[in-house]
């Protein structure tokens, strides 16, 4: 899957403190974490940024991020797809954006062991999970959203549904810690997993141009073992530029730091830390002078685009570093072995 001669760089010089400081500097007083100054906040990337804060030991700031979610949750358990300057910007209610709070909360628990915090935010997470599985079809896929008028959009995304599969696993893990049974979540997870493994044609919103559609079923553990290996190998050349990183979409020359870091997570999840380290080495120097990471760049002309310093991009770099170098007790949150 990769050219011979590359080696896992075990002495990567990444300024972890700079990445964490960027996220903290962009967090607002009420806990909201936008993409960057003047840009939107969406709930999924907000949670990703909170996970970056947690990896960096900024627990108070991470708690404030979850408190913002609790304060802004809608009556049906969802959030709006985007906020700008504290006000709703896109009133779509996305199932995946809602469910991801479970991954963030489980991650926070794994790092801190703070079960009281989990219990305090259980109602928020439970309402979010119920909203997401309320959009599940009988066959297993989960419709992606309610439109601003409250109508179900009957389209299912493989990437989004795979992410919800991970959210369901995390929600059920927290339920176990709180000695609570939620059979509806278990049934939803099992139906969704079967659909991702055996009925991918049912995911009818085609996003096959996007690299996330390639590796998210592996990253989230819906595909494991030989199935995971075959999927990664089959589309490797379609999305990976050797020595550079992962394209956002296969037909554009744009390599993104986030997608490359997420492929690192997928590779470590399936047990291939050696290749994961090689891939991370390709982007380890794609930083500004202050040590924070670019969002992406074009290849081969190497134009940085966009030039914004994005909170969630730097957060997923932290997650990749954690998976590679075991910085926190949650380093194996995506590991397929962890969920056996």
Q: How far apart are CA 319 and CA 105, in angstroms?
A: 15
Q: How confident is the model at residue 2 (pLDDT cuts 50, 70, 90)?
A: very low
The lowest-confidence range among 7-16, 53-62, 182-191, 325-334 is: 7-16
Residues 6+ positions from 205 with CB-CB distance below 8 Å: 144, 155, 156, 157
* Structural domains of the chain, ranges and CATH numbers in brackets: 16-339 (1.50.10.20)
CA torsion, ordered 325, 59, 336, 316, to nearest 10 deg: -70
Q: Number of helices (H) and strands (E), helices first, in the chain?
A: 13, 9
What pLDDT is recorded for position 3? 43
Question: What tokens were used for 191?
Answer: 């139906």
Q: How far apart are CA 160 and CA 247, in angstroms?
A: 18
The single-letter DSSP state of residue 155 is E
Q: How far apart are CA 296 and CA 246, in angstroms?
A: 10
Q: Is 104:121 a contact under the CB 8 Å cutoff?
A: no
Q: Mind listing the pLDDT tens digit for each residue in 94-107?
A: 999 999 999 999 99
Q: Is 62:50 a contact under the CB 8 Å cutoff?
A: yes
Burial class (CB in 10 A: 0-12, 13-18, 19+), 327: middle
Q: How confident is the model at residue 164 (pLDDT cuts 50, 70, 90)?
A: very high
Average pLDDT, the chain: 96
Q: How far apart are CA 100 and CA 76, in angstroms?
A: 16
What pLDDT is recorded for position 205? 78
Q: Is 231:214 a contact under the CB 8 Å cutoff?
A: yes
What pLDDT is recorded for position 18? 97
Q: How confident is the model at residue 206 (pLDDT cuts 50, 70, 90)?
A: confident
Backbone angles phi, psi at 187, to 5 degrees: -65, -40
- Does position 5 have pLDDT exceeding 70, yes or no? no
- In this prediction, residues 236-260 reach a mean pLDDT of 97
Q: How far apart are CA 75 and CA 114, in angstroms?
A: 26
Percent of the chain with pLDDT over 70: 96
Which pTM value belongs to this model? 0.96
- In this prediction, residues 64-78 reach a mean pLDDT of 98
- In this prediction, residues 247-262 reach a mean pLDDT of 97
CB atoms within 10 A of CB 242: 14
Q: How confident is the model at residue 9 (pLDDT cuts 50, 70, 90)?
A: low
């Amino acid at each position: 899957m990769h050219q011979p001669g590359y080696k896992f760089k075990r002495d990567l010089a990444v300024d972890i403190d700079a990445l964490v400081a960027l996220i903290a500097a962009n967090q607002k007083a009420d806990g909201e974490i936008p993409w960057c100054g003047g840009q939107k906040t969406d709930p999924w990337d907000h949670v990703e940024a909170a996970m970056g804060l947690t990896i960096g030991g900024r627990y108070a700031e991470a708690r404030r991020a979850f408190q913002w979610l609790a304060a802004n949750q809608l009556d049906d358990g969802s959030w709006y797809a985007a906020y700008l300057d504290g006000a709703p910007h896109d009133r779509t209610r996305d199932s995946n954006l809602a469910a991801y709070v479970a991954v963030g909360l489980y991650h926070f628990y794994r790092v801190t062991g703070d079960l009281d915090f989990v219990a305090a935010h259980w109602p928020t997470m439970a309402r979010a999970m119920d909203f997401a599985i309320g959009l599940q079809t009988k066959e297993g896929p989960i419709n992606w959203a309610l439109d601003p008028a409250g109508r179900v959009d009957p389209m299912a995304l493989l990437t989004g549904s795979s992410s919800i599969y991970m959210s369901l696993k995390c929600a059920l893990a927290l339920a176990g810690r709180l000695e609570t049974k939620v059979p509806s979540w278990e049934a939803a997870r099992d139906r969704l997993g079967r659909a991702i493994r055996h009925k991918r044609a049912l995911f009818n919103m085609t996003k096959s141009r996007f690299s996330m559609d390639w590796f998210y079923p592996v990253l989230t553990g819906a595909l494991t073992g030989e199935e995971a290996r075959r999927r990664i190998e089959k589309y490797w050349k379609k999305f990976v530029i050797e020595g550079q990183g992962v394209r956002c979409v296969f037909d554009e020359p744009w390599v993104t730091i986030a997608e490359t870091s997420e492929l690192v997570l997928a590779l470590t999840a399936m047990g291939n830390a050696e290749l994961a380290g090689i891939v991370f080495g390709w982007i380890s120097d794609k930083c500004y002078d202050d040590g924070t990471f670019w969002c992406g760049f074009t290849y081969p002309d190497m134009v940085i685009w966009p030039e914004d310093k994005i909170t969630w991009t730097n957060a997923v770099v932290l997650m990749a570093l954690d998976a590679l170098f075991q910085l926190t007790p949650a380093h194996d949150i995506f590991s397929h072995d962890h969920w056996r």
